[in-house]
C-alpha cells in the first residue's frame, strides 16, 4: 500500500474514483501541501502546470492506502499525459510530514503569475473530463499509456459531445431511468473514433420491456459544417477530398465534394469551429454565419451531431486551390454558381448529406440572404 498526493484534477473526487475503479467506495483523503512547488494556469489550457518555485506551496489532497492495482491504474491514466511517479514529502494540515507519491512531468516546467483554480476547472471541465476518463479507464489492461496518449484527444472530443447531448431537451413522454435498461457496455475499439457496444432493454409501445438487444454505435463527436456562400456573386465554394468509408464500401468514386466541415474541440462553440475550419480547409475568412439546422447525421449507427451553417464569404478572385491540415487531409476547392449547384443536386451528382441539406436550406432562404447582403 502507498500514499499519493494529488495537486490537480484528481483532487476532484468523482474523477479520482473513476481512475481508481473505486466507484462509490469511501476514499481516505485529507488536505496536504507540497513545499517549494506551485500549480499554475498557462494560457487557456484547462489542465494545471506543476512547477518548482522556492517559497511556494502546492495545495492538494493526500490519498492513503492505495493498492498496487490502483497505483497501476493511476500510472495508466497519468502516463497518457506524460506524467511519471516521483517520491516527495508532503505536509498535512495537521503538521505531519508524510512520504507520498506524486505524478508530474520529469521536467516540472516554469511557474506563471496565474494560480490554477480547481473551482474554475470543476465549473468548466469536470463533467467532460469525467466522461473522457470513463472511456479511458475502460481500456486499462488493454492499451499502454503511449497508446492512450494518442487516443485521448478523441476521447475528450467525444466526452464533450456526450456532455452536450445530455443537455438537450428531454422527451416529456419518457423516463430514461425507467424505459431503458443497460445490461452491459463494451468498448471494442478506440482511435480517432470509438466503437461502443451495449446490451440493452427498451420499453416497447405496448408497455413491456423488450428482450435484451445487442446494439453498437460509432462515437464521433460534434461537427461544424459550413457551406461558404457569396450572396453578391450568388455562388458557393465546395471542397473535395478522399473519403475512406466511401472507398471501403466499394464506391468507385471515393473523392467526394462537400461543404467545409470539422469536429468541435472540447468546449469550442460550433460557430468558432466553423470559422476555424473555413480558414484551415479553404483559406476563407467568413463574415456572418446563418444556422442551417442541427441534427444527427445517422441515428442508426453514429453519435455524430452536426451544426450546419451557411457562411457569407467573398468568393471573388483567386480563392480556390489545394490545401489541408497536419491530419493528413489533402483538399481541393472550387467555386460554382448557385444554379449549377442546384442542377448537380437534381441530377444526383452529390452524395454528401450535409452538402445536400445545406444547399436545400440555401435554396429556401436564398432571396432573403441576397436581400440582406
Q: What does the longest C-alpha to C-alpha distance in the chain come to?
A: 78
Phi, psi at 280, each rounded to 5°: -70, -45
- CA-nearest of 18, 33, 15, 165 to 102 is 33
Question: Half-sphere exposure of residue 190, counting CA atoms within 13 Å on the CB side?
Answer: 29
Instruction: Using the CB atoms, write b or e for 54-87: b if 16+ within 10 Å.
Output: eebebbbbbbeebeeebbebbbbbbbbbebeeee
Cell of 203: 420499453
- The yes-or-no answer on residue 258 being catalytic is no
Sign of CA dihedral 193, 263, 227, 360: positive
3-state secondary structure of 7: coil
Asked whether 28 and 88 are in contact (CB, 8 A), the reply is no
| Residues in contact with 242: Cβ distance below 8 Å, sequence separation at least 6, in sequence order | 254, 255, 256, 330
Asked whether 124 and 143 are in contact (CB, 8 A), the reply is no
Active-site hit among 45, 87, 208, 327: 327
Strands (E), the chain: 2-6, 29-40, 49-66, 84-92, 97-104, 180-190, 194-202, 213-219, 222-230, 235-242, 255-258, 260-263, 289-296, 305-312, 322-323, 331-337
- CA-nearest of 352, 341, 330 to 257 is 352
DSSP class of residue 237? Answer: E
* Dist CA 138 CA 336 (whole Å): 47
- Residues with a catalytic annotation lie at 327
Amino acid at each position: 500500500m502507498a500514499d499519493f498526493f494529488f495537486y490537480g484534477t484528481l483532487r476532484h473526487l468523482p474523477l479520482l474514483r473513476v481512475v481508481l475503479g473505486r466507484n462509490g467506495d469511501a476514499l481516505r483523503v485529507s488536505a496536504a501541501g507540497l513545499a517549494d512547488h506551485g500549480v499554475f494556469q498557462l494560457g487557456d489550457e484547462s489542465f494545471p502546470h506543476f512547477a518548482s518555485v522556492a517559497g511556494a506551496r502546492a495545495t492538494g489532497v493526500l490519498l492513503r492506502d492505495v493498492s498496487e492495482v490502483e497505483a497501476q491504474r493511476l500510472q495508466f491514466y497519468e502516463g497518457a499525459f506524460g506524467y511519471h511517479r516521483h517520491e516527495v514529502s508532503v505536509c498535512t494540515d495537521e503538521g505531519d510530514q508524510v512520504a507520498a507519491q506524486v505524478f508530474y512531468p520529469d521536467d516540472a516546467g516554469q511557474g506563471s503569475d496565474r494560480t490554477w483554480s480547481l473551482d474554475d476547472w470543476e465549473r468548466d471541465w469536470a463533467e467532460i473530463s469525467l466522461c473522457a476518463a470513463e472511456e479511458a479507464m475502460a481500456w486499462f489492461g488493454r492499451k499502454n499509456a503511449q497508446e492512450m496518449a494518442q487516443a485521448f484527444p478523441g476521447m475528450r472530443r467525444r466526452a464533450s459531445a456526450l456532455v452536450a447531448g445530455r443537455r438537450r431537451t428531454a422527451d416529456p413522454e419518457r423516463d430514461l431511468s425507467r424505459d431503458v435498461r443497460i445490461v452491459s457496455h463494451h468498448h471494442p475499439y478506440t482511435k480517432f473514433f470509438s466503437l461502443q457496444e451495449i446490451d440493452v432493454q427498451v420499453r416497447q409501445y405496448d408497455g413491456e420491456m423488450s428482450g435484451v438487444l445487442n446494439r453498437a454505435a460509432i462515437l464521433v463527436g460534434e461537427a461544424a459544417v459550413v457551406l461558404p456562400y457569396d450572396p453578391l456573386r450568388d455562388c458557393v465554394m465546395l471542397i473535395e477530398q478522399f473519403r475512406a468509408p466511401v472507398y471501403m464500401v466499394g464506391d468507385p468514386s471515393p473523392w467526394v465534394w462537400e461543404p467545409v466541415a470539422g469536429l468541435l474541440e472540447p468546449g469550442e462553440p460550433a460557430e468558432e469551429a466553423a470559422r476555424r475550419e473555413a480558414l484551415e480547409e479553404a483559406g476563407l475568412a467568413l463574415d456572418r454565419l446563418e444556422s442551417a439546422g442541427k441534427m444527427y447525421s445517422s441515428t442508426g449507427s453514429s453519435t455524430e451531431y452536426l451544426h450546419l451553417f451557411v457562411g457569407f464569404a467573398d468568393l471573388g478572385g483567386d480563392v480556390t486551390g489545394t490545401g489541408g491540415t497536419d491530419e493528413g487531409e489533402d483538399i481541393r476547392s472550387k467555386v460554382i454558381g448557385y444554379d449549377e449547384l442546384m442542377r448537380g443536386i437534381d441530377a444526383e451528382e452529390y452524395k454528401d448529406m450535409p452538402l445536400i441539406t445545406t444547399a436545400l436550406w440555401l435554396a429556401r432562404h436564398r432571396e432573403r440572404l441576397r436581400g440582406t447582403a
